[in-house]
Structure 1
Amino acid sequence: MSNKENELNHLAIIMDGNGRWAKKQHRPRIYGHRIGMDNVQKITLAADRLGIKVLTLYAFSTENWARPKEEVAYLMNLPVRFFDKYMPTLIENNVKVNIMGYLDELPQKTYDVVKKAMEQTAQNTGLILNFAFNYGSRKEIVTAVQELAKEVEEGKLKSTEIDEQAISQHLMTAKFKEFGDPDLLIRTSGEQRISNFLLWQIAYSELAFSNKNWPDFDEDDLKNFVENYRHRDRRFGKIDESES
């Protein structure tokens, strides 16, 4: 097992448990989202210090529109609050912001804010803070297949040329090139499911689950998961030569 195989370049996190955390504090769910927002900044800087190149955070899924209207409205305003409060820190730390998802379905104010955040940090060369916002993996895969089908119809591509690489190149993570697939996926709150997140990209990702709710997940927790990952035996379908 080489050091390169255990290098953590792309970390993905399902930030779960804001509502449950708030309930334990006898506060409304939206309070948990506000505190969870502050934790995004802390974990982003911690990930940067650990040398991670891409940090993908599951912020709002295509299924989350089914939540109570008040909560959805608050979540749509969180990017406004987050970038207003933390953009100077992100710029100071050379963080590049990316938002992946179906952005054209967002309220205009939210859309304008996330587009501006990407424009403001477009020239930064440090950690890529990638928010999955109004994102759903099944929809992403369907969109990729539709784009490939259109290329076949237009004669730009043969159906026999559609392979794993072709599909990957039509996913929202394609812009991260060799770092498109997460090395490690962490989910907080104790839940152990993927929730329609990066289904194609995590085919060989290592999975880890924290019992802490997202607002309580801190830099020490992150360091422990990263250290554990670096000592895992990643085989990618192969066998350990020492066992053969």
Structure 2
Amino acid sequence: MKINSLTTNGYSTIFEAQVNLLSRENGKKEIICIARELSKKMSQGSLLASDISQKTISAALQATKGIPDPELVLLFGQAQSLSGFIPWQVRLTEIMSLSSHHNLYFREFLDILEMYSCCEQRFGK
């Protein structure tokens, strides 16, 4: 979806938005399988605990391959929880809540994107 373009010093940049719809079940089974595989390798002595890192687990995850870390997450419903999200993937994510996904109009979605575009990330400053 082409959102906007910008021309600076004769170079044109096209900004695009990637929308991914994920549920709480995406990746859960995979994380369990990875944990089992890593613990098996540790018990066999072919892997040390110090070898396991965020990068190791991220590289092993297939469900999120090709999907960048989210910049915006929309939570739907009464429960305000990040249960099911991998902490390092949402550390810089802007999180917005909506009461329901039912009858969500395109204009409302665009309003949310506009609100997000006004957010300023300060990275702890």
Q: TM-score, normalised by structure 2?
A: 0.66
Q: Which residue of 1 aligns with 2:48?
A: 158
Unaligned runs of 5+ in 1: 1-47, 62-131, 240-244
Match of 1:176 among 60, 66, 77: 66
Q: Per chain length, whose mean CA-contact separation is higher, i.e. which structure has more relative contact order (CA < 8 Å, sep 6+)?
A: 1
1:83-110 CA distance string (max 9 Å, x none): xxxxxxxxxxxxxxxxxxxxxxxxxxxx
Match of 1:205 among 77, 93, 106: 93
Shift of 1:165: 1.0
The percentage of aligned residue pairs carrying the same residue is: 22
Q: Which residue of 2 aligns with 1:57?
A: 22
Unaligned runs of 5+ in 2: 4-15
Kept after mapping to 2: 8 A contact 1:186/1:210: yes
SS of residue in 1 equivalent to 2:65: helix
- The aligned length equals 111
* CA distance in structure 2 between the partners assigned to 1:217 and 1:233 by the alignment: 26
Q: Which amino acid in the other structure matches residue 50 of structure 2?
A: T
Do the aligned partners of residues 176 and 150 (structure 1) sit closer, same or farther apart at CA in structure 2, a change above 3 Å counting?
A: farther
Match of 1:141 among 16, 27, 31: 31
Name the structure with the higher helix share: 1
Match of 2:116 among 216, 224, 229: 229
Q: TM-score, normalised by structure 1?
A: 0.38
Do the aligned partners of residues 235 and 214 (structure 1) sit closer, same or farther apart at CA in structure 2, a change above 3 Å counting?
A: same
Q: Which residue of 2 aligns with 1:116?
A: none
* CA distance in structure 2 between the partners assigned to 1:230 and 1:148 by the alignment: 40
Kept after mapping to 2: 8 A contact 1:140/1:171: yes
* CA distance in structure 1 between the partners assigned to 2:34 and 2:72 by the alignment: 23
Shift of 1:220: 1.4
Name the structure with the higher strand share: 2
